[in-house]
Amino acid sequence: MPISIAFIAHDTQKADMVALAQKYHVTLSRYNSLATANTGKQIQSATGLPFELVRSQRDGGDIEIAARVIAGEVACVIWLFDPDHAPLLGSNLLNLLRICKIYNVPLATNLATANIVLQSLGKSRIAHLIFNPIAGQGNPDADLAMIRQILEPHVQLKIIFTKPNLNPTDQAKTAIATIQEGNSTASDTDFIIASGGDGTVSAVANALIGTGIPLGIIPRGTANAFSVALGIPTGLKAACENILTGNTCIVDAARCNDLPMILLAGIGFEAETVERADRDMKNLLGAFAYFLAGAQQLLEQKLFTVEVEIDGSVTQFQCGAMTIANAAPPTSVLAQGWGEVIPNDGLLDVTIAISKNESLNLSDRLLAIDVIGKLFASALVKTPIENEVLVCFRTNKIKVTAIPPQKVVVDGEIIGTTPVEVVCIPNGLTVFAPLVNSLLPVKKTAESH
């Protein structure tokens, strides 16, 4: 369903139209409102609501609104006219009536009908879709058309495109402010959808942490790791259908140096691998870009020292890789020391690949390949791995310093270098996700092995 409501009123009907808008102020605040020039100015002045103004009805504003109906942008049209002037309006009204009939858009011509239509829209769900047009390898126009085809019969969809000069977090905050405005029970049904890669999802989730507003995810990135970790389908159609089921789960979130983290932070090997797998490589090879970059990095990886601080206690390790995970799919193998990263246990899963040598020799690198294979196998069977080159523990807060400083990747994006502080935010995020066992309540206790 489209997101705009259109208003036209004859001079003798403008007072009624203003009163109607005042009555449904909360409902209109959730939608984009457009009106012919004089009608819109009067409503805007009386209500303070923002209105998109088209030409006056005399100058063809009704034709502009008809064009917007044809474009699929209008949820309903309200045209209050003076019945004594109906003969003068006849042809214009009939044209708009014909267009609304063809495109199945409600056209209200009296207050009784207008009340019924606005009451219905007030109860409708609105989804603010934050759509990254450059994510993944697909055709963004075709992707968006499919999303609209599946969702719009059930949800009023407001589309917000990400832009290079705008942070998706800020775009999501604007949408949240719209949802929260008015304090109506209808706004409780509104939600936000992120469509893009893990970076887009993480940025949108950042704004939603602690709000209780549900996040829908339509993955269109290269890895789509957060979706896989929560069992959210990665196909467009199935992901949209998952949102329409209405099933939500509450999962943990985290912050790394005050930046949002819904997946994991990688220090050393993983960060270098992500940096190698640049946009050109991902566009060419897709998810295989990470495997190729990882193989290249394994040949060049150098050891470093990490100092890990938990509850004031500091421990030092010589290592080549360290992962701090809030949630992770099986393919994030360096996070799988426990065999499964539980996304709602209130804890971070820490896995450190240690070494007793001063530098990595060929034997160490071959051993690393073996350990990576075992980590992946442990993730598939959800069983912890026991290995002398791995240190694994769970905690709700951790500080890490590296010597020399190491690059850090958070949710697929390089954020700088160590030191970092990661803090878990229990039950921080509500997500449309299948009801699977890993998302059921679990006992929240610190563990290590």
Q: Which residues are catalytic?
A: 62
Can you point out the beta strands (E) in 269-389? 304-310, 313-325, 348-354
- Gyration radius (Cα) of the chain, Å: 27
Distant-in-sequence, close-in-space partners of 78: CB < 8 Å, separation ≥ 6: 5, 6, 7, 8, 17, 20, 107, 108, 114, 117, 118
Sequence length of the chain is 449
CA distance 347 to 335: 13
Amino acid type, 144: L
Helix (H) or strand (E) holding 420: strand 420-432
Q: How close are the terminal C-alpha atoms of the chain, in Å? A: 52
Q: Shortest CA distance to 387 belongs to which of 333, 312, 443, 346?
A: 333
Q: In the structure encoding, which two tokens stand for residue 126, read together?
A: 């609105």
**403: how many CB neighbours lie within 10 A of its CB?**
11
CA distance 288 to 222: 9
**In a 10 Å sphere around its CB, with 0-12 CB exposed, 13-18 middle and 19+ buried, how is residue 356 labelled?**
exposed
Q: In the structure encoding, which two tokens stand for residue 148, read together?
A: 């609209």
Q: Shortest CA distance to 394 belongs to which of 252, 225, 260, 271?
A: 252
Q: Kindly write down the DSSP assignment for every residue of 261-285, as one continuous string.
A: ESSEEEEEHHHHHHHHS-HHHHHHH
The helix/strand/coil state of 4 is strand
Helix (H) or strand (E) holding 206: helix 198-208
